[in-house]
């Protein structure tokens, strides 16, 4: 199968240009807003109804509550404010929509959203398909979606062992064993994470998300000591759905017996990164950034291990990524 096509994203505008923030739930929109403000940008927020954090409106130059299924209003609002670039981040809690029947009116789809669903999303509701529809609609209103990580580059994972707590030799071997499998999982658009111990895959993430997969792994592997690995699809479109871990991830890992977190360096957001590293050491969890190059490669013979027995180059069957671990 051919490698994923690379999305060419618009360059972020220089400060003090206004930037729109289309915000779902969680802490990520808060961190993005703080980053934009620190860079000198005006932030014009569009909070998805029933989703965004209460702190967000007070951080923005302007803010409006908008319906999740009313895409046309997003572009119209931003364009009327003179905003031509926007970032879209945050999760959508469907339960909040389903169990508040009197507030469903706010989320009745407009004609633009209904037509987009019928023409493009009836048979393919994967995140990149939804993103393309949203980006195209915003573009028709003169608003370009941009890389959601550019205001929070200091929150991205780095290569190597980031914690004082080091992975065990078994955990290093587990990471080397499972990373090609994760690469294939990502290519097939199944999920972003899986768990492993003693070269046995315990759980694979699907629609339930990382936190529920961690809970499931704890039930399946009660002796603990397992590793969670998480990454992003090759040439992932950073305008939306960038893999994210945070303090809650660490607390869930600790509660359910996980002792190592291996994430793709530069491809995974670590929300409140410095607090995460401090928390991980207190909980005895090692955090490892696995360097990943998404350039297509041929299938060379497997190289000999490095002198320290740790560094290696994986040869995934997908022929779409080269992975080098540096677990020192």
Q: 156-325 is classed in which CATH architecture?
A: 3-Layer(aba) Sandwich (3.40)
Closest CA to 280 of 261, 263, 264, 262: 261
The tens digit of pLDDT for each residue in 65-111 reads: 998 878 889 999 999 999 999 999 998 775 555 555 555 556 677 77
Quote the pLDDT of residue 113: 74
Closest CA to 282 of 252, 254, 258: 254
| 226-230 β-sheet, strand order | 160-161, 286-290, 258-264, 226-230, 193-197, 200-204
2 band by pLDDT with thresholds 50, 70 and 90: very low
Distance between CA atoms of 153 and 269, rounded to whole angstroms? 9
* Residue 105 CB partners (closer than 8 Å, separation 6+): none
The tens digit of pLDDT for each residue in 270-322 reads: 999 999 999 999 999 999 999 986 433 333 343 343 333 334 333 333 333 44
Residue 161 carries which DSSP code?
E
Percentage above 70 pLDDT, the chain? 80
Quote the pLDDT of residue 58: 97
Where b means 16+ CB within 10 Å and e means fewer, 102-111 reads eeeebbebee
Distance between CA atoms of 109 and 90, rounded to whole angstroms? 20
Q: Are 226 and 252 in contact (CB under 8 A)?
A: no
* Residue 216 CB partners (closer than 8 Å, separation 6+): 203, 208
Quote the pLDDT of residue 275: 98
Percentage above 90 pLDDT, the chain? 61
State mean pLDDT over 151-156: 97
Quote the pLDDT of residue 172: 97
Quote the pLDDT of residue 297: 33
The tens digit of pLDDT for each residue in 168-181 reads: 999 999 999 999 99
Quote the pLDDT of residue 123: 74
Closest CA to 269 of 299, 246, 292: 246
Quote the pLDDT of residue 304: 42
Distance between CA atoms of 218 and 212, rounded to whole angstroms? 10
Quote the pLDDT of residue 66: 93
Q: Are 154 and 273 in contact (CB under 8 A)?
A: yes
State mean pLDDT over 140-150: 94
Tokens representing 59 are: 């951080």
Q: Are 19 and 86 in contact (CB under 8 A)?
A: yes
Question: Distances in Å between the alpha carbon of 63 and those of 14, 53, 76, 77, 188?
Answer: 21, 12, 14, 10, 37
Look up the pTM and report it. Answer: 0.81
CB atoms within 10 A of CB 327: 23
pLDDT > 60? residue 3: no
State mean pLDDT over 21-40: 96
Q: Are 62 and 81 in contact (CB under 8 A)?
A: yes
Query: From start to end of the chain, where are the E strands?
Result: 19-23, 43-48, 62-66, 85-89, 144-145, 160-161, 193-197, 200-204, 226-230, 244-245, 258-264, 269-270, 286-290, 292-293, 312-314, 322-325
The tens digit of pLDDT for each residue in 53-69 reads: 999 999 999 999 998 87
158 band by pLDDT with thresholds 50, 70 and 90: very high
The tens digit of pLDDT for each residue in 240-274 reads: 779 999 999 999 999 999 999 999 999 999 999 99
112 band by pLDDT with thresholds 50, 70 and 90: confident
Quote the pLDDT of residue 309: 38
Length of the chain: 328
Same fold for the domain at 19-152 and the one at 156-325?
no
Q: Which residue has the higher pLDDT, 132 or 156?
A: 156
State mean pLDDT over 214-222: 97
The fold of 19-152 is Rossmann fold (3.40.50)
Show me where the domains of the chain are located.
Answer: 19-152, 156-325
* Residue 258 CB partners (closer than 8 Å, separation 6+): 195, 214, 217, 218, 224, 226, 227, 228, 252, 285
27 band by pLDDT with thresholds 50, 70 and 90: very high
């Amino acid at each position: 199968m051919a490698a994923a096509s690379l999305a060419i994203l618009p360059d972020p505008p220089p400060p003090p240009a206004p930037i729109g923030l289309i915000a779902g739930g969680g802490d990520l929109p808060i961190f993005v807003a703080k980053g934009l403000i620190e860079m000198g940008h005006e932030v014009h927020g569009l909070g998805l109804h029933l989703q965004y954090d209460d702190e967000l409106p007070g951080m923005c130059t302007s803010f409006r509550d908008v319906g999740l299924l009313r895409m046309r209003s997003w572009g119209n609002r931003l364009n009327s404010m003179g905003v031509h670039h926007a970032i879209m981040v945050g999760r959508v809690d469907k339960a909040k929509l389903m169990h508040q029947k009197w507030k469903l009116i706010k989320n009745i789809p407009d004609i633009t959203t209904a037509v987009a669903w019928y023409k493009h999303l009836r048979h393919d509701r994967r995140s990149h398909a939804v993103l393309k529809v949203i980006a195209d609609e915003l573009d028709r209103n003169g608003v370009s979606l941009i890389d959601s990580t550019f205001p929070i580059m200091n929150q991205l994972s780095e290569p190597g062992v980031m914690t004082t707590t080091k992975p065990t030799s078994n955990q290093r071997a587990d990471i080397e064993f499972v990373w090609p499998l994760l690469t294939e999982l990502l290519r097939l658009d199944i999920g972003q994470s899986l768990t492993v111990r003693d070269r046995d895959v315990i759980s694979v993430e699907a629609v339930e998300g990382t936190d529920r997969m961690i809970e499931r792994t704890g039930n399946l592997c009660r002796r603990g000591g397992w590793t969670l690995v998480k990454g992003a699809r090759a040439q992932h479109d950073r305008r939306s759905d960038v893999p994210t871990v945070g303090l809650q991830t660490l607390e869930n890992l600790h509660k359910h017996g996980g002792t190592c977190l291996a994430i793709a360096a530069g491809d995974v957001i670590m929300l409140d990164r410095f607090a995460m590293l401090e928390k991980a050491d207190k909980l005895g969890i090692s955090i490892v950034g696995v360097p990943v190059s998404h350039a297509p490669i041929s299938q060379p013979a497997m190289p000999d291990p490095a002198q320290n027995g740790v560094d290696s180059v994986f040869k995934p069957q997908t022929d779409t990524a080269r992975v080098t671990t540096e677990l020192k």
